Structure 1
């Protein structure tokens, strides 16, 4: 598999264009800041992958847009809801690459192979830039079809669950899931899920979407005195946090543009879905910066 190695100072970042345009790992010297890829052909074992042209689940794969009803096939085994768009399951083309940045591109044609996975033509460019302080990720999604397209973007970074890992982020609300794993009820953040002050994850079990977050979060490993500060651009206004129990070796902190299954809510655009007209595009940017003193805690 083609691995693009980027270097800047003490940081090293590996990119996997063939495996969903994903990242294989981000390291500061020998310390893994993102969970290292396990070298299997499974993008869900990578360090981070792009979510495009939507994030998380679409209920039973059904949605309506422009007076038409669409049905998407399952894309994650027997899981009832299509998940995370199509970008994570496609090979991306390398447009350009240097020692510290690369430009990847993915084109989707609903009339081509795999076209049933999304009924609208689109093109997306992903830019990965590494410097001595961290990595910047950016995606621009363009509607290449002749009708309006509902759209969303995001990233799915995995962080190593080293002993005592701590998390901080502030949010105004969280969505509780029903038995179908879809958001059902919006509530103020309850105390067990409140990470406005940095604290250990312990056994908190989250697979939920937060909204009204400050677009800043910190994952911190106190035993190593190092952390990753996540800073999202306006438009990545939702945060999915997934903290599976042991023996899983990761936590996921995912800045995304819209609520899970927002496409099926009465007002999708109020929950972050962008309706792109023909030829229109949207750009979202995420920054992950290394911190050595825990100063990225939310105020």
Structure 2
């Protein structure tokens, strides 16, 4: 589904409520993977956890350990939660598109009925995502949420500002302890969580600013690729980032943005 107004245009795929095209003014910002977009989780919403948990497969909440199935064989981990592979219901509005998914809680590794509503809006030189997470069950519900947009890069791009800290990774790319950031050539392969709330991509003719929904952002780029994923996340399944919790019959809201 495509929305267009005087500020630009964007396209949302119902699979994963995924942002697959964004134009602000005349500038196209999102990398086009074509028929490979699902393999890259391009633009997808990641819920009830983004990326990988520090345990690999176990969501630890209170006295319970919910063991998720492995869907990332290379890293022996659960990856990106449920929603990148789920079809949302899309609705066109005057100022954007809303995407709704209602989950009945039947999976034993996430027994928490909920309704997830993603609203995308387009304003002057800015694109906004707002997530509303409603607990439709009778128990407190744990979650984190993230977003997986890929941005076009020029060969001479720069990423600023430089973070002061990052999360270390183990041999399976699972997040570990907070460590100082000692510098990095962003042209090398990168896949990790960095303490960066606001990130600027400086391309030759324009700058893109991404504001995350917490103090960390996941950054992913294969070496030499003409794109980079800057992934706003509320946190990871990690001791430094306790699960956000929604009480029964209540809701939580999260937002992040892209600005030109």
- Is the structural similarity TM-score above 0.5? yes
Q: Is the 8 A contact 1:124 1:141 kept in 2?
A: yes
Gaps in structure 2 of 5+ consecutive residues:
none
Aligned to 2:98: 103
1:122 and 2:114 aligned = yes
Which range moved further: 32-41 or 135-144?
Answer: 32-41
Q: Tell me by how many angstroms 1:245 deviates.
A: 0.7
Checking the alignment, whether the CA contact within 8 Å between 1:127 and 1:137 is kept in structure 2 is: yes
**How far 1:125 sits from its partner (Å)?**
0.6
Question: Which residue of structure 2 aligns with residue 217 of structure 1?
Answer: 199
Q: Which residue of 1 aligns with 2:77?
A: 81
Contiguous gaps of at least 5 residues in structure 1: 194-200, 291-299
Whether the aligned pair in 1 keeps the contact of 2:49 and 2:144 (CA below 8 Å) is yes
**Contact persistence 1:66–1:148 (CA under 8 A):** no
Look up the match of 1:24.
20
Q: Considering only aligned residues, what root-mean-square deviation do their CA atoms show, in Å?
A: 2.2
On the 8 A contact 2:56/2:174 being kept in 1, the answer is no
Q: Distance in 2 between matches of 1:256 and 1:162?
A: 25
Report the CA distance shift for 1:132/1:117 in structure 2 as closer, same or farther (over 3 A): farther
After superposition, the C-alpha distances for 1:238-272 in whole angstroms (9 at most, x for unaligned) are 111112113x332111111113x31xx3xxxx524
TM norm structure 1: 0.78
1:86/1:117 contact within 8 Å kept: no
- Residue 209 of structure 1 and its aligned partner are, at CA, apart by 0.9
Counterpart contact for 1:107–1:122, Cα < 8 Å? yes
Q: Which of 6, 11, 19 pairs up with 2:8?
A: 11
* TM-score, reference length from structure 2: 0.89
Task: Answer whether contact 2:220 2:228 (CA < 8 A) is retained.
Answer: yes
- Which residue of structure 2 lines up, in the alignment, with residue 230 of structure 1? 210
- Counterparts of 1:45 and 1:257, CA distance in 2: 18
User: Partners in 2 of 1:228 and 1:102 — Cα distance?
Assistant: 22
How many angstroms does 1:127 deviate by?
A: 0.2
- Give the Å deviation of 1:75: 2.9
Is residue 104–residue 127 contact of structure 1 (8 Å, CA) maintained in 2? yes
For residues 128 and 117 of structure 1, do their structure 2 counterparts lie closer, same or farther at Cα, with a shift above 3 Å needed?
farther
Q: Is the 8 A contact 1:25 1:37 kept in 2?
A: no
* Corresponding position of 1:174: 166
Q: d(CA) in 1 for partners of 2:119 and 2:147? A: 13
Q: How does 1:241-260 map to 2 (within 5 A)?
A: 241-246=219-224, 248-259=225-236
Q: What pairs up with 1:153-168 in 2 under 5 angstroms? A: 153-168=145-160
State the secondary structure of the residue aligned to 1:60.
Answer: coil
